[in-house]
Chains A and B, each alone.
Chain A
Amino acid sequence: MKSSYQDGIIESNIEISENIYELILDGDFQGSPGQFYMIRGWEALDPFLSRPISIADLNNGRIKFLYEVKGRGTHIISKLKKGDKLSILGPLGNGFDLNTKGKIALISGGIGIAPMLYLAKSLNIKADLYCGFRDKPYFLESIGQYVNNIFMATDNGIMGHKGFITELFNPMEYDLVYTCGPTPMMKVIMNICKGKVPLYISMENRMACGIGACLGCTVETIRGIERVCKEGPVFKGEEITID
């Protein structure tokens, strides 16, 4: 039997870049790369729903999340301090397939970098990381030692290539690609990789339950309608049929 929501005690909750926070919880948590937790940083009923956040790292039961403050929920979580309690449900979802060979690329856009650290650490081969940011890059010091090369792009050209990260990426150089980021970016990557290189894509959708019961988070696949929280969030590129 899986445990329902459990308490995590905040070890640290630090703003590592503007609006980007790194949250570490002490406890005995589990999970594999690409899986996520539903997080409640409040006891009240408003906000009503928990927020899905990917596992950024896991070390002897201590779990790390990397999140961007977007709206009310993440704003409340960002105000929590060391020693505060927070309740989380997980690990949820399927996670990335780690059984891989050949040359691997990880491609992230913005906060899509969150699951990449744990993924890079868990792969048996060092991958190349392609990461795009709107403005100043973040989280790269943490990932650096676990990847081969880092290719970077920023929308405003403040660091790395000025433009989209997809412009730096050539699918023919790789045997496998993993991606996580905003939907428009992932659509471009799906198109670039199609028929050239296998792709694992971490999908996002609004979630209510996180466990597969509400059918709120669905996505169209070649097998029919599937749930991002249960059959996903990781899908093979060729399985997703949205245009």
Chain B
Amino acid sequence: MTKVNICGIEFKNPVIAASGTFGFGKEFEEYFPIEKLGGISTKGLTLNKRDGNKGIRIHETPSGLMNSIGLQNPGVKGFIEEELPFMEKKDTVILANLGGSTIDDYLEGIELLNETSVHMIELNISCPNVKEGGMAFGIKCNTASEVVKKAKSISKKPMIVKLSPNAENIKEMAYACVEAGADGLSLVNTFNALAIDIYKRKPVFNNITAGLSGPCIKPIALRMVYEVSKVVNVPIIGIGGIISFEDAIEFIMAGATAIQVGSGNFIKPDITIDIIQGIEMFMEKEGIKSLEEIRGII
């Protein structure tokens, strides 16, 4: 009943764990069977291993948090050797979230991932915390278009492009990425934001700005999903402050085919299960046979 299809890949339900908030699934497997999820987006990968940022990495805000993790990850090869074997044993869709600071980084990463069992690539052109995260590509349409076109030309996997809410114009950005060949879009990544420690009279984060996520961004993320769904006709994965089934249904009604849960995983390790069950109950109660019936109905 809750099945959805994105670029020919079937998800048993529309709930995906968002990149950077779910590791590679191992920690959560201790709390629930992770194959119950529609999919898992891996921690953001870069071609080479990264240690991440120094200093404070997490800062709380009203109904949300800011993070400056800095893409700490084992690198694409490390992922394939150390993390993927565990993930591929689970019956759920794997999205390899891939960042890069140059087009060649992206291309080399895709070539390595092409030969693996990951189901999809989520091209991250939107991490605000490091220049390797690719946000430079995610602000201007022409640079985004170039990296998507080249990446798509060599990718053997369906390719979703993850958009930044910091893009100059989210509709134009979405359109440009689809024109360049994106099979789907996921949005949004974190919002560029600032926090100041007034006693130290300094920014909280070494990088000055950091990425804001959580329920506080939901209404803006929802608006962006809605707007983008009006200008493209590829599947959209909605992300931003989703912590309940009601939130998830809102995103679907705004035009999303599936959704990702990010910061919500921090307030309850099995929150995604509550959301999946909530969606099922809602569908039963409302007599909805397939999520297509309500997708983009507003």
Contacts and interface: CB of A to CB of B under 8 A. Distances in A.
B51 A208 contact: no
Contacts of A3: 31
B94 to A, nearest CB: 16
Contact of A214 (B30, B59, B63, B69): B69
A46 B263 CA distance: 13
B21 A217 contact: no
A218 interface: yes
B266 interface: yes
B282 interface: no
A222 interface: no
Interface in B211-262: 214-215, 243
A206 B204 CA distance: 12
Contact of B215 (A5, A45, A214): A45
A218 B22 contact: no
A202 to B, nearest CB: 19
A218 B72 contact: yes
A211 B59 CA distance: 17
Interface stretch (A13-21, A47-55, A139-147, A174-182): A47-55
Interface string A199-243: 000000011111111111110000011000010000000000000
Given A1-B30, A46-B63, A225-B72, A209 B51 contact: no
Interface string B51-84: 1100011111111110101001000000000000
Interface in B173-210: none
A212 B31 CA distance: 13
Interface string B4-40: 0000000000000000111100011011100000000
Contacts of A66: none
Given A4-B268, A230-B27, A213 B52 contact: no
A45 to B, nearest CB: 5
A89 B125 CA distance: 34
Prevailing SS type, chain A contact patch? loop
A2 B266 contact: no
B57 A1 contact: no
A208 B52 contact: no
Contacts of A225: 51-52, 72
A213 B63 CA distance: 19
B297 interface: no
A214 B243 contact: no
A208 to B, nearest CB: 5
B270 interface: yes
B2 interface: no
A144 B15 CA distance: 52
B267 interface: yes
Given A1-B30, A213-B23, A48 B214 contact: yes
Nearest to B17: A213
A48 B27 contact: no
B269 A208 contact: no
Contacts of A217: 57-58
B69 A1 contact: no
B58 A208 contact: yes
17 contacts: A1-B30, A1-B31, A1-B32, A2-B31, A3-B31, A4-B32, A45-B215, A48-B62, A49-B266, A50-B267, A206-B58, A207-B58, A208-B58, A209-B266, A214-B20, A215-B69, A225-B51
Interface of A: 1-5, 40, 45-50, 89, 206-218, 224-225, 230
Interface of B: 20-23, 27-28, 30-32, 43, 51-52, 56-65, 67, 69, 72, 214-215, 243, 263, 265-270
